[in-house]
């Protein structure tokens, strides 16, 4: 992960670099640093902890500079510390920031030690500075030195480097980690994410793997992996300030929960007609392709994987297609057999998750009929490398815990289930029913948000416990898993999810008065069986919090029965997600955790 930013300008860049780091803190926030060229020397500031601490140091020291690089870190090699924070330097001459992992770092470290270099950090990144210095000392230019360095590196990287002997240029390079150039006014910038520099420009060039580029205040030049100068397309993206600020909300997570009605509208907008999904919404020729699909393979991670688990049910019920689903981190290692006419579907908010990207690249070597991604970032690697795509249009999601990205992924996956069904001529009446229900989905989500008052009453009871169990059946089991993930990642309460029928096969032993059990009980053909499962919990003294359809009656000794708004059964997983998000948020608030940036995590997981 980590976020890198670089700026070459005709004005002071310290402030804009730190502002950029703030916007990339979702990529990691255990330490931060900056290197600023000051003609005769380079000012080098690093702090352990969040970007705010670096900012405070900058306010004290007021370093002035028109050329600099900066970094916010998520530790991979070496603990979070000032020594391990970037930028790393070599011989007080070369300073670099790096995002990614250098796999052959031990071998390269040995080599550099033999050449007389000593290391001051435990990172895999420091060696990049030494290698650049090594080649610069052989009278190579920074661009040549960068190519020679890249020749030695195995792994993933986005790098920005400056040289004390050159106060005009920054050299950057990319391989399998995101990096783009921003075209500002009287300045050029580079960053891991357009968000970081969106207040400075709306024109970006997304570098490709193997690219090396040089930026100065007046110009930029890009070379491909064979060192030929190349023109890369300029992409215009407008990211409004409103989308990237908290507004009146306490946390980004809270804001993003409340943005869901609009986000879902944005996902559906222009993609459904009167009584069916529109053709080719996944790209030109996608409807024709879908006619041939016989099987679906989903790969994703975390919350996105939970969305995939719900969708696997929809593909079966609506599109009549068998679906296999894998953790992206596991998929490549099980030697997957690919049936004829299988479609590979990746799901990702960021589109940069290393495991998911690696799974896509692996799948492209296999006999899939095509690859398709459900993604929130149109400019991401996943979006660019997939044959077909649909964007969830949820707007930037900044809170580390995914909320609106998940519900919009579900909406987009429902569009995929409908499109596959339409091309395969399956279930026309059901399609019309679902499309009709989708049109009022945003209103139902809005109504569901009103449950916050009830949730405020139960949150203290959960916040005082160390464990929680989430139960759901069928299509609601992945929602129970998502509820448990949300609770554990932001409140640090240990939470697990089970299909309710599995309880009696072991986990029931955990039930006592200290184990709150949160259950999802919509009206369904197995509602009665679920109620019996919940009775088993009640009989053993467990406290139940049941989110249920008003038609379900239960006499709870302790806990709470919470009535959910009505909605078409196939869309209810989206509705039942909302109170679980609010519950996690309120519980975390009571426990005083860092909700938007929970410990040990980062939003964009760009390491495998
Ligand atoms: C949890 C969460 C993560 C992500 C996962 C995949 O709240 O956000 O589990 O879902 O890291 O990220 P994306 O969707 O960007 O591929």
Report, as an integer, the average pLDDT of 352-358: 94
Pocket, ligand 1, Cβ cutoff 6 A? 301-304, 348-350, 353, 356, 401-402, 485, 489, 605
Written in H, E and C, the secondary structure of 68-134 is EEEEEECCCCCCCCCCCCCCEEECCCEEEEEEEEECCHHHHHHHHHHCCCCCCCCCCCHHHHHHHHH
Q: Which of 53, 40, 45, 49 is nearest to 14 (CA)?
A: 45
Task: Looking at 365-403, list the stretches that DSSP marks H as alpha helix, in order from N- to C-terminal side.
Answer: 381-385
- Check residue 344 and give its pLDDT: 98
Query: 157 pairs with which residues across the strands?
Result: 100, 176
Please report, for the chain, the start and end positions of each structural domain, with discontinuous segments joined by +: 3-236, 249-439, 445-594
Cβ atoms of residues 379 and 237 within 8 Å: yes
Separation between Cα atoms, residue 373 and residue 319, nearest integer Å: 18
Element (H, E) at 33: strand 31-37
Q: How far is CA 169 from CA 94, 159, 283, 361, in A?
A: 12, 14, 40, 34
In tens, the pLDDT along 126-174 reads: 999 999 999 999 999 999 999 999 999 998 899 999 999 999 999 999 9
- pLDDT above 80: residue 241: no
For ligand 1, atom 3, which residue shows the shortest CA distance? Answer: 302
Class for the domain spanning 3-236: alpha beta
Separation between Cα atoms, residue 301 and residue 530, nearest integer Å: 28
Q: Which of 436, 432, 438, 397 is nearest to 414 (CA)?
A: 438
Q: How far is the CA of 577 from the centre of ligand 1 (A)?
A: 16
**Pocket-testing residue among 300, 303, 581, ligand 1, by greatest number of atoms within 8 A of Cβ:** 303
The number of angstroms, rounded, from the C-alpha of 59 to the middle of its chain's C-alpha atoms is: 31
Separation between Cα atoms, residue 33 and residue 71, nearest integer Å: 5
**Pocket-testing residue among 28, 253, 304, ligand 1, by greatest number of atoms within 8 A of Cβ:** 304
**Pocket-testing residue among 326, 381, 402, ligand 1, by greatest number of atoms within 8 A of Cβ:** 402
- pLDDT above 90: residue 304: yes
**Pocket-testing residue among 353, 358, 408, ligand 1, by greatest number of atoms within 8 A of Cβ:** 353
Q: How far is the CA of 348 from the centre of ligand 1 (A)?
A: 7
For ligand 1, atom 9, which residue shows the shortest CA distance? Answer: 302
Query: Sign of torsion, CA 397 400 401 402?
Result: positive
Contacts of 152 (CB under 8 A, 6+ apart): 104, 108, 131
- Check residue 80 and give its pLDDT: 92
Element (H, E) at 560: strand 559-563
The residue with tokens 């930013």 is 5
The residue with tokens 């009535």 is 563
Q: How far is the CA of 150 from the centre of ligand 1 (A)?
A: 30
Q: How far is the CA of 306 from the centre of ligand 1 (A)?
A: 10
In tens, the pLDDT along 192-234 reads: 999 899 999 999 999 999 999 999 999 999 999 999 999 999 9
How much of the chain, in percent, has pLDDT values that exceed 70? 100
Cβ atoms of residues 42 and 31 within 8 Å: no
Asked if domains 3-236 and 445-594 share a fold, the reply is no
In tens, the pLDDT along 583-601 reads: 999 999 999 999 999 998 8
Q: How far is the CA of 397 from the centre of ligand 1 (A)?
A: 11
- What dihedral angle (degrees, nearest 10) is formed by the CA atoms of 503, 508, 509, 513? 150
Place domain 249-439 in its CATH homologous superfamily. Glucose-6-phosphate isomerase like protein; domain 1 (3.40.50.10490)
Q: Which of 137, 147, 105, 135 is nearest to 122 (CA)?
A: 105
For ligand 1, atom 10, which residue shows the shortest CA distance? Answer: 303
Query: 325 pairs with which residues across the strands?
Result: 298
486, with CB counted inside 10 A (0-12, 13-18, 19+), is buried
328, with CB counted inside 10 A (0-12, 13-18, 19+), is buried
Element (H, E) at 296: strand 295-300
Q: Is residue 112 reached through a cis peptide bond, with omega within 30 degrees of 0 on the bond before it? A: no
pTM, rounded to two decimals: 0.83
**Angle subtended at Cα 514 by Cα 509 and Cα 517, rounded to the nearest 5 degrees:** 70
- pLDDT above 80: residue 242: no
For ligand 1, atom 6, which residue shows the shortest CA distance? Answer: 301
For the chain, what is the radius of gyration of the CA atoms? 25
Query: 297 pairs with which residues across the strands?
Result: 324, 344
Report, as an integer, the average pLDDT of 481-504: 95
Separation between Cα atoms, residue 84 and residue 586, nearest integer Å: 35
- Check residue 343 and give its pLDDT: 98
Q: How far is CA 228 from CA 22, 47, 219, 480, in A?
A: 35, 39, 17, 52
557 catalytically annotated: no
Backbone angles phi, psi at 180, to 5 degrees: -140, 160
Q: How far is the CA of 515 from the centre of ligand 1 (A)?
A: 27
For ligand 1, atom 8, which residue shows the shortest CA distance? Answer: 402
Cβ atoms of residues 359 and 332 within 8 Å: yes
In tens, the pLDDT along 254-278 reads: 999 999 999 999 999 889 888 999 9
Separation between Cα atoms, residue 528 and residue 554, nearest integer Å: 10
Taking residue 224's Cβ as centre, other Cβ atoms within 10 Å add up to 15
Order of strands, edge to edge, in the sheet holding 42-48? 42-48, 31-37, 67-73, 3-9, 187-191, 180-183, 203-206, 235-236
Separation between Cα atoms, residue 75 and residue 93, nearest integer Å: 25
**Measured between alpha carbons, how far apart are the two ends of the chain, in Å?**
10
Cβ atoms of residues 356 and 299 within 8 Å: yes
DSSP helix, strand, coil percent of the chain (3-state; round to 5): 40, 25, 35
Q: How far is the CA of 459 from the centre of ligand 1 (A)?
A: 24
Separation between Cα atoms, residue 236 and residue 228, nearest integer Å: 25
2 catalytically annotated: yes
For ligand 1, atom 7, which residue shows the shortest CA distance? Answer: 401
Three-state DSSP class for 472?
strand
- pLDDT above 90: residue 606: no
- Check residue 496 and give its pLDDT: 96
- Check residue 76 and give its pLDDT: 82
Q: How far is the CA of 300 from the centre of ligand 1 (A)?
A: 9
Q: How far is CA 124 from CA 74, 129, 334, 554, in A?
A: 13, 11, 29, 57
Is CATH 3.40.50.150 what the domain over 445-594 is classified as, yes or no?
Answer: no
Among 2, 301, 375, 567, the one annotated catalytic: 2
- pLDDT above 90: residue 550: no
In ligand 1, which atom is closest to the CA atom of 605? 11
Among 422, 486, 538, 603, the one annotated catalytic: 603
């Amino acid at each position: 992960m980590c976020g890198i930013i670089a700026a070459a300008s005709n004005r002071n860049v310290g402030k804009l670099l730190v502002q950029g780091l703030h916007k990339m803190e979702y990529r990691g926030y255990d330490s931060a640093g900056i290197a600023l060229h000051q003609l005769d020397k380079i000012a080098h500031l690093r702090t352990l902890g969040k970007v705010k601490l670096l900012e405070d140091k900058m306010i004290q020291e007021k370093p002035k500079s028109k050329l600099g690089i900066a970094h916010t870190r998520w530790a991979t090699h070496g603990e979070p510390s000032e020594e391990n924070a970037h930028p790393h330097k070599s011989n007080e001459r070369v300073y670099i920031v790096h995002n990614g992992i250098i796999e052959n770092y031990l071998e390269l470290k040995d080599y550099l030690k033999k050449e007389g270099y000593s290391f001051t950090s435990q990172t895999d990144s420091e060696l990049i500075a030494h290698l650049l210095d090594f080649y610069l000392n052989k009278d190579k230019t920074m661009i040549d030195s960068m190519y020679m360095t890249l020749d030695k590196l195995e792994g993933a990287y986005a790098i920005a480097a400056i040289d004390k002997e050159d106060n005009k240029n920054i050299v950057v390079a990319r391989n399998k980690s995101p990096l783009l150039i921003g075209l500002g006014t009287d300045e050029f910038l580079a960053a891991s994410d357009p968000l970081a520099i969106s207040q400075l420009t709306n024109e970006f060039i997304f570098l490709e793997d193997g690219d090396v580029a040089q930026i100065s205040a007046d110009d930029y030049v890009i070379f491909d992996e064979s060192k030929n100068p190349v023109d890369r397309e300029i992409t215009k993206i407008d990211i409004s300030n409103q989308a990237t600020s908290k507004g009146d909300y306490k946390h980004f997570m809270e804001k993003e929960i409340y943005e869901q009605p609009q986000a879902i509208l944005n996902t559906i907008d222009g993609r459904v007609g009167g009584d069916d999904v529109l053709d080719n919404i996944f790209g030109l020729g996608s409807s024709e392709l879908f006619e041939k699909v016989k099987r679906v393979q989903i790969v994703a991670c975390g919350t996105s994987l939970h969305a995939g688990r719900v969708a696997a049910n929809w593909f079966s019920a609506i599109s009549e297609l068998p679906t296999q689903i894998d953790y992206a981190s596991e998929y490549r290692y099980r030697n997957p057999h690919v049936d004829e006419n299988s479609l590979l579907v990746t799901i990702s908010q960021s589109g940069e998750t290393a495991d998911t990207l690696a799974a896509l690249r692996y799948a492209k070597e296999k006999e899939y009929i095509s690859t398709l991604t459900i993604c929130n970032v149109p400019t991401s690697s996943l979006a660019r490398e997939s044959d077909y795509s649909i964007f969830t249009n949820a707007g930037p999601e900044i809170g580390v815990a995914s909320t609106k990205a998940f519900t919009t992924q579900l909406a987009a996956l429902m569009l995929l289930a409908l499109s596959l069904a339409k091309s395969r001529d399956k279930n026309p009446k059901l399609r019309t029913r679902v499309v009709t229900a989708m049109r009022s989905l945003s209103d139902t989500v809005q109504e569901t948000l009103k449950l916050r008052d009830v949730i405020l009453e139960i949150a203290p009871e959960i916040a005082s416990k160390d464990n929680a169990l989430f139960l759901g059946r069928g299509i609601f089991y992945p929602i129970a898993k998502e509820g448990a993930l949300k609770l554990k990642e932001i409140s640090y309460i240990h939470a697990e999810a089970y299909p309710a029928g599995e309880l009696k096969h072991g986990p029931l032993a955990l039930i006592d008065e200290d184990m709150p059990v949160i259950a999802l009980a919509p009206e369904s053909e197995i509602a009665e069986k679920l109620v019996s499962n919940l009775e088993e919990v009640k009989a053993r003294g467990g406290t139940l919090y049941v989110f249920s359809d008003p038609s379900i009656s239960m006499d709870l000794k302790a806990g709470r029965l919470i009535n959910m708004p009505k909605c078409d059964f196939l869309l209810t997983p989206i509705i039942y997600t909302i109170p679980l998000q609010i519950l996690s948020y309120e519980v975390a608030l009571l426990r005083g955790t860092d909700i938007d940036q929970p410990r040990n995590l980062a939003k964009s997981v760009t390491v495998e």
